[in-house]
Amino acid sequence: MWIVQTQSAIAGPRSPLVAALRYESPLPKFVELVKEHHSWINYRDGDLPDGVAMSMLSRCAIGNLTNHVRVLIENGADTAEAIRWHEEYGTDEAIALIKHAAQIRPTLKK
């Protein structure tokens, strides 16, 4: 007789934006999700192996996803927090991408 034991971890809320990146959704779908789930833009997801939490903006900048970075900034991503995070972890290329995207973002219509 075999005994199968399963474990289930109690997970926190799962960001639909992280899921979109994980499953490589096309940019138009990502834009749609950002607008639909605006409250997730600055959520810090801690699913890295060492438990380090990073924002969507940080995640996209590390992945060199320029258009995703622009979309997030245009929709209110916290650039200062992301830059501080990258300074702490020494990811200079990501800092440069965020700063560049923040400078060229179009003026949002209110």
In this structure, how many other beta carbons lie within 10 angstroms of the beta carbon of residue 32? 13
Cα(59)–Cα(56) distance, integer angstroms: 5
Q: What confidence score (pLDDT) does residue 97 get?
A: 95
pLDDT at 108: 47
In this prediction, residue 45 carries a pLDDT of 75
Q: 43-89, pLDDT tens digit by residue? A: 887 665 566 788 999 999 999 999 999 999 999 999 999 999 999 98
Are 47 and 12 spatial neighbours (Cβ–Cβ below 8 Å)?
A: no
Q: pTM for the complete prediction? A: 0.79
Is-contact 52 83, C-beta < 8 A?
Answer: no
Residue-range domain boundaries for the chain: 16-104
